[in-house]
Structure 1
């Protein structure tokens, strides 16, 4: 965390998100953008397959931490499906839970292997991929985050928790950090001891989702107003 490789990855990802924002009005003039969407979804899928293959080939694969039960693992899968199906039902979860989880992971990466290892590239590519997908559907496809979407996402997260708790108990895992905080340090360190940080996370998630909703709705509204004035 906060190594040169970490900071460079954050800067590159931030610049790419900025480019995505500033190019939003030109996207529909690009031919074959549907194929680009599906190709990007395929690249995320391939990265996940390569990661699972690497775990298996190096004898690292284990039921306690290799299943796609982390918040960001679930979000990557849903982002891939969203890019292929354009389902509005998946958008809320990817936008709120996916982007919130990915941002926290990017800022405080829980990584044993750094640059130039494959795991380094997989980690940042897939986590930024969640954010790119959420921003793309907001800025390019016209999907708008709603307050109702916040409540739906929080409800779905709380419905997932008992399932993940059960899987943690069965396989002695720590998916979603529901049994312990990450050893490398994270936001959870400021939310109290176990199990109280789990309750604190409910409030953090709500206010983080609310922040996303206000910022993106305000930005979209201002963009539309400026475009109307030019017309």
Structure 2
């Protein structure tokens, strides 16, 4: 079983190939007659894939349940995206759009440890690139137009999640969202100082990312 290496040729190949697939998937979603049905069906398929991954890790790899909870930001965003694509809820469209900003960092420093064509590798990249598709669908399919108020709400809710998950980590001995300490693998957090200083850096970076995602709509309104 080939071990995944960060910033290897395989890593960059995955980023490029899955980017192309996502781009084609977005184009297809814009061409179909019933765009909302397309978004809904894609969300159901992605949900099944994610459940399959968790079942594999629990049954085959015998991982403890406490490490399988969907409490990392990308998993929370994936849940929001699935609900948003199925229901069209403005609340979840807002979370999906802004929270998907974290996907870029997750793809640059993925937590996957096994190379393609292993199931865990495929599902990791598919689900994370699906968040990019979902962010585009929020705008193109569901006609969601972010406002500055939406930005503040998304930032407020992500901080609320940070606080709740910090205490969950203390109870379970986990490190979801990496809010209790830095991950053991290489990541951008290595350059942001020790705890809790890297948390402050994350707060600033998160707000800047949210602001950049709002900027095109601010200019359009002006």
Aligned match of 1:49: 51
Aligned match of 1:229: none
Aligned match of 1:155: 156
Residue 47 of structure 1 deviates from its aligned partner by 1.0
Deviations 1:10-53 (A, max 9, x none): 112322444466667x53xx334333222201111111110111
> Following superposition of structure 1 onto structure 2, how do residues 48-197 of structure 1 map, counting pairs within 5 Å?
48-97=50-99, 99-197=100-198
2 CA distance for matches of 1:87 and 1:205? Answer: 23
Q: 1:22 to 1:54 in 2, by over 3 A?
A: closer
Whether the 8 Å CA contact 1:191–1:200 is kept in 2: the answer is yes
Whether the 8 Å CA contact 2:81–2:96 is kept in 1: the answer is yes
2 CA distance for matches of 1:20 and 1:46? Answer: 18
Instruction: Give TM-score, length-normalised by structure 1.
Output: 0.85
User: 5+ residue gaps in structure 2?
Assistant: 1-5
2 CA distance for matches of 1:146 and 1:20? Answer: 27
Give the paired residue count: 216
Deviating 4+ runs (over 4 angstroms) = 20-24, 215-218
Deviations 1:113-153 (A, max 9, x none): 22221111111011111110111121333212222111101
Q: 1:197 to 1:144 in 2, by over 3 A?
A: same
